[in-house]
Amino acid sequence: GRCFTFWYNMWHPNVGKLNLLRRVNNGSRSVLWSREGPQGKDWKQGKVELHSEDPHQLVFEAILNTPNPGMIAVDNFNLTDSQCDNEKVCTFESGSCGWQLHNWERTSGSSVVLPQSDYSTQSPSGSFALVRSPSGRMVSPQGWYDTSRHKCLRFWYFISGSTVEALNVTLASDEGPEESLWSVTTTEVPMRRWFSAAVSLPNSKGVVTMVFEGTTSGDPGTAVAVDDISLSEKTCPSPGSCTFEEDMCNWYNNRDLSYAQWYRHRGSTVSNSTGVERDHTLGTEDGFYLLLDAEDLSKFRFGSLQSQVLSLGPNVCFRLYYFMKQQSGAFLGVSFVDETGLSSGQPVVVEGNVTNEWSLFSVERSDAPSKFSIVIIGRTGRGASDVAIDDIDVRSGKCDVPSPPTSSPQPGSTASVASTTVAVPEAPTTLKAPVTSVTDEPWPTAEVPSETTAGAPPTRPPLQCNRGYFNCRDDSTCIPAVLLCDGVRDCPNGLDENCGGISLCKEDEFFCASRSPSACLPRSLLCDGREDCSDGSDEALCRVCPRFFCRNDAICGWTSRAPYPGCDCKDGYKGRRCELPDIGKVEEVVAGPSSNGNIVTGIVIVLVVIVLAVVLAIFFVKRRRVSQSQNSPVFLDNPSYDASTDRTRLFN
């Protein structure tokens, strides 16, 4: 084989995509290497193994995201008649690197359904190791590492499927039984993407081998794969902690490039307006930190960063250092997410630095789930103000710094001291509904544990929801009360839309379920930092963007000035949550340029007239009924938890 190396620079984050293609005489092309998204401001080296003996050309393809300005550059091409030096990283491009594949296979994305690409080249032609059904073992070469010293095993993995799919890392020794060091299942990584992992290897006696154990059903849509295995002399960082000097330590971006992306950076930022010139770890221009760049060309100015799954609860201390320009509108938020993808507890938000220096931000939890991940959301500010973070530290127990405030800083305020610690109040004995969801489902809550006396049958107490939330009366679901009677079904049983004959609020109003001080209030009062509804529902859905909130694949977003989630509808849909078909758009698509366009258009117009007539008739009938009833809706005073939801009405 031959090795082709080059250097590339993708100056602006989300500027576009860079591909290296192989083109043969018949004109067909295949992707050999690809990069997309933020790659940092430094020049980086790309490597590709070339194994084809047929005549071909190499072609660089740069795709810029118009109309945004941007730059992609390449330099220093080099082609050698030898394999690439991958610096002790097994990329599986030229073989299995001595690893014994027992019911594993070395393959590529072009030969299987999943994964569609490897991690090294991020292209369908790149190679990786894939387990075969039902299970397999991939064993390291003899004497692969010095067992007298601690090491850090690093690799990338891809897992997709049901509860059957799993990946384990074990240590096999002739001195004793096989020891499990690390494991993952599909429930912990619901997204189909490559994830990084770092496993600490203890010093051992005797002959030791590392084993990757994979299990898969082999059904369509399932896969367990491994790529880029390496061994580091440095110790692994603690799970969740990171200085960003080596890599991102298993923290990963939301891969939707509509949102800004965090990336490793060193030195001053491009805009030079934030003030950061050196990292916090080393205090030098050569030290790395994580940057949310104001120069990012994404549609939305905020980015989401999520940790690996952690098992450190219930007492957890989370700390990081941040750098933001004061009064720029930039902010940073931290929330905990359980293994089902639901947010646990209130998110904590901090805004720009009071002093032009790195500031400590810490959060204490005494009720963290047994398994959780941490989500960091940042938003760049005005005047090209970036957001920088460094030295994330996550550990069990309490933070060893004073924690005077007991609530999140309010929007529009700034931290009054360089060190900001927030102690999240301890949860009551009954389980509280989560604040937001990162899944496509409503806010389900787990079964509430209960204590029973000896000999008595176990009982299930009624579900209790957070302040500002509504109980769907199915013993498992709470939703924000601000979503009641909005025309979108959120409760699995549809109870939130069984609203009797009440009138919907105006376009610039929202429904206040407690009816106090009024049933309909101006939308400007949503998420303003004050409880305007007596039940607090107007402040229960703020600075969060549940994926299920926007319907029909719409994009959800919010800003610091409008912290309540909003939806950007795809063509063919409309409504505040994109829940309604846009008949006008449908008419355009159906009619098209065909010869029968006028006929189809006439049919659509007739249908529209009929639909509007029916809607108006229903509206006037309901309005007449409402005028005969009370002006204000009334809650059921004594709801029955076992009542049929078909007969139950929230209001009369």
Q: What is the mean pLDDT of the chain?
A: 79
d(CA 164, CA 46): 36
| pLDDT average, residue stretch 2-19 | 91
Whether cis (ω within 30° of 0) applies to the bond prior to 517 is: yes
d(CA 207, CA 195): 30
Q: Please report which confidence band the pLDDT of residue 153 belongs to, taking 50, 70 and 90 as the band edges.
A: very high
What is 2-80's CATH topology? Jelly Rolls (2.60.120)
d(CA 534, CA 339): 33
Torsions phi, psi for 538 (to 5 deg): -75, -10
113, amino acid identity: V
Cβ 112 vs Cβ 130: under 8 Å: yes
Q: What per-residue confidence (pLDDT) applies to 298? A: 84
Are β-strands 2-10 and 72-80 bridged in parallel, bridged antiparallel, or unpaired?
antiparallel
Cα dihedral 98, 102, 106, 111, rounded to 10, equals 170
Where does residue 400 rank: exposed (0-12), middle (13-18), buried (19+ CB within 10 A)?
A: exposed
Which of 435-449, 535-549, 608-622 is predicted with the least confidence, judged by mean pLDDT? 435-449
Q: What per-residue confidence (pLDDT) applies to 627? A: 42
| pLDDT average, residue stretch 58-80 | 90
Place of tokens 């079964």: 447
302, amino acid identity: F
> Which token pair is 543?
């600075």
| pLDDT average, residue stretch 244-248 | 94
Helix axes 597-628, 583-591, angle to 10 degrees: 170
Q: Provide the 8-state DSSP code for 146.
A: -
DSSP, collapsed to helix, strand or coil, labels residue 623 as helix
Q: 252-423, which class in CATH?
A: mainly beta
Compute the half-sphere exposure of residue 181: CA atoms within 13 Å on the CB side of its CA: 23
More confident residue, 492 or 400: 492
- Confidence check: pLDDT of 471 > 80: yes
User: How many other CB atoms are found less than 10 A from the CB of residue 629?
Assistant: 14
Cβ 386 vs Cβ 269: under 8 Å: yes
Asked if 2-80 and 252-423 have one fold, the answer is yes
More confident residue, 194 or 343: 194
- Confidence check: pLDDT of 200 > 70: yes
DSSP, collapsed to helix, strand or coil, labels residue 169 as strand
- Confidence check: pLDDT of 638 > 70: no
Cβ 224 vs Cβ 133: under 8 Å: no
d(CA 99, CA 140): 5
The C-alpha angle 368, 560, 276, rounded to 5 degrees, equals 85
d(CA 41, CA 11): 6
Q: What is the pTM of this model?
A: 0.63
More confident residue, 454 or 496: 496
Q: What per-residue confidence (pLDDT) applies to 632? A: 35
- Confidence check: pLDDT of 410 > 80: no
Which of 54-68, 152-166, 530-544, 603-617 is predicted with the least confidence, judged by mean pLDDT? 603-617
Q: What per-residue confidence (pLDDT) applies to 316? A: 97
Torsions phi, psi for 312 (to 5 deg): -120, 0
- Confidence check: pLDDT of 635 > 50: no
Q: What is the pLDDT of residues 133-142, one digit of tens each?
A: 999 999 999 8
d(CA 375, CA 367): 17
- Which segment, 177-186, 383-392, 515-524, 575-584, is predicted with the most confidence on average? 177-186
Q: Please report which confidence band the pLDDT of residue 563 belongs to, taking 50, 70 and 90 as the band edges.
A: confident
The residues, ordered by sequence, that sit 6+ positions from 592 with a Cβ below 8 Å of its Cβ are none
Architecture of the structural domain at 100-232: Sandwich (2.60)
Would residue 254 be called left, alpha or beta, if left means φ above 0 and alpha means ψ between -120 and 50 degrees? beta
Q: What per-residue confidence (pLDDT) applies to 88? A: 86
Q: Where are the domains of the chain?
A: 2-80, 100-232, 252-423, 584-628
The residues, ordered by sequence, that sit 6+ positions from 495 with a Cβ below 8 Å of its Cβ are 472, 473, 474, 645, 648, 650
